[in-house]
Each structure stands twice: as C-alpha cells, then as structure tokens.
Amino acid sequence: MKVLKVAIEKCISCGACEEKCSTLYKKENSKDKSCIHINPRNGGRLINVCNQCGRCIDVCQTQALKRDASGIVRIDPKRCVGCLICVGFCPTYSMRQHDDYLVPFKCISCGQCVKVCEQGALVL
C-alpha cells in the first residue's frame, strides 16, 4: 500500500502541496480544502496527512469507509450520512471537514502533491 510519507526536515512550508490538492479535488486554492496540511509550529511546521490507519473504518456507522484494492481508505459518498464521527475520532486529526461539504474528505495517496513538491519532502 502506498501511503504518503513526509520528510519534514525538507519542507519549506511553500504550500504548493496544499494548493495542488485543494485545487484538484475542490476546485479552489484553499488550505482548508486540502487533504494535506502544513501547520506552522514554533517557527517550523508539522505536516498532517492521513496515514491510512483505518480507525475511521471501525467507527463509521454506515460502512461508508472501506479500503480499496490498494489498501487505501476511501469514503463512499453515497453511504456517508455526514455524521463526522470519523473526523472526531481520527487519531491523527487527518480526516478533513469543511462546512461547504456534507461529506468529509481525506488523502487517498494519489501522489499529485508529490509531483509539485520541489524540495522532495513528500514521497509515496
């Protein structure tokens, strides 16, 4: 399973990954709508993104969350009822939610952010 991994020491907080992700999936350049978050911390940063641990699958009441053939955790928007339990119970706070959408969203290891990271801080 290809999970997005970060070499945080190479990140310069340029935001290119956030811009790529949100523009691609939500048609908008907005950090709030990106699946990967670069969060400033003490002059540096923390990088928050789903590690496909699958805890959300366990807590979803409608079985809207499942692993696909590659083992990546995916949301089925037709089964999701927007309860946001997965958002609250994610152990890494990586399940994203935005008021513009009823269904949460998360990193699916598509690799598009890897391509735009000029520092090589992201790898699949």
Nearer to another protein, 1 or 81 (CB): 81
Q: Closest separation between CB of residue 109 and another protein, Å?
A: 24
Q: Which two tokens stand for residue 27?
A: 């048609």
Contact residues for another protein, defined by CB under 8 A: 59, 61-63, 80-85, 87-89, 97, 99, 102-103
d(CA 97, CA 106): 9
Q: What are the angstrom distances between the C-alpha of 113 and each of 15, 46, 59?
A: 10, 16, 28
Q: Closest separation between CB of residue 58 and another protein, Å?
A: 8
- For residues 111 and 31, the answer to whether their CB atoms sit within 8 Å is no
Q: Closest separation between CB of residue 65 and another protein, Å?
A: 13
Nearer to another protein, 8 or 59 (CB): 59
Q: Closest separation between CB of residue 86 and another protein, Å?
A: 9
Nearer to another protein, 5 or 66 (CB): 66
Q: What are the angstrom distances between the C-alpha of 52 and each of 13, 14, 23, 66?
A: 23, 25, 22, 11
Nearer to another protein, 11 or 35 (CB): 35
d(CA 57, CA 53): 9
Query: Could you tell me which of 1, 27, 32, 4 has the C-alpha nearest to residue 117?
Result: 4
